[in-house]
Structure 1
């Protein structure tokens, strides 16, 4: 009976992993997401492993009207970079400001590492970032199992220092690693594909 239970648990877990898909802004419905579902996914994130039990992940959940202020932060980040490069476009500024409006949930992904009495990091940046990545994977897996969809966004304004300050990450060690967009899928996800496993694994006896 115990072996049967373990087999079922493994099959359920593998199904959740293999059915996970990244679904960006354009593939999410604007419908609101029950807070209980978001909280459950974040609880899964909180059970990620971290070297030294530092638990460096920091999340801020933006829903409702709070998304407007977040969009303004994205737009100002774009303005700073574009004006410095002499390439500012009003249409791009407006697009950044409005990009948060049609996705119901934006979650900032932050890394706030543990420090000792002198202010030095207890673990390396790489170890803390890997821990945060594990937390995000947990979040994503549970969200998909709940019938939600989402994607980790990590380019451009999503890692801007000004946006990092906006979400409350503190210097010198706090880092913004992007945002996770979350919502109900607008359409069914496609089947996933992977190259053969033997191309990526070597067995050494």
Structure 2
């Protein structure tokens, strides 16, 4: 986000850049630390930090692509060539990918649902922090977020869930917007007549 853009204007126009349009360069280590620091400033009932980050950059992204392809071939040995390429490129489409991992668990005082929502808030904060640092980002999950073998390869524990994979990088392509809901379809004013 440029310094001359007001937050309210940014929020009115906020959108994600399609992963296919994300390219180098990605954030430096220091820039990424700033993005992760900002991302972690979310509502967090009980101060539990019920989430963690895993950063995938460099060669590990291609190695994971081979794992994803192997798992996809087990499910469908006749996988088309384009689908094979897509599996290999799943984490190399952007210079880096950050997994936001929900560690939500039963707690004596804090409902697990509130912990899950906090992880979702981290994902949105990370998109906005990446934009504020001058980068573009996209929040994905895809099948790998729900496959136990893929999750193990990604370093995610059986008791954890993926809130999102945040792909971060640069682009020179104008990102298209998508249709947004009409407020009258999603807002109810309690106690007011709708006539």
Displacement over 6 Å in runs of 4+? none
Within a 5 Å distance, the mapping from 1:92-171 to structure 2 comes to: 92-114=83-105, 121-122=106-107, 123-171=110-158
Shift of the 102–195 alpha-carbon distance from structure 1 to 2, 3 Å rule, reads closer
Report the Cα offset of residue 110 of structure 1.
1.1
Match of 1:199 in 2: 185
Q: 1:35 aligns with which of 29, 37, 43?
A: 29
CA deviation after TM superposition for structure 1 residue 157, in Å: 2.2
Partner SS state of residue 53, structure 1: coil
For structure 2, the residue ranges without an aligned partner over 5 or more in a row are none
TM (norm. structure 2) is 0.80
Q: Find the aligned partners of 1:79 and 1:54 in 2 and give their Cα distance.
A: 39
Cα RMSD, aligned residues only: 2.5
Q: Distance in 1 between matches of 2:55 and 2:132?
A: 19
Structure 1 gap segments, 5+ residues each: 1-10, 115-120
Higher helix share: 1
Note the C-alpha offset of 1:37. 2.4
TM-score (norm 1): 0.76
Retained in 1: the 8 A contact 2:69–2:87?
yes
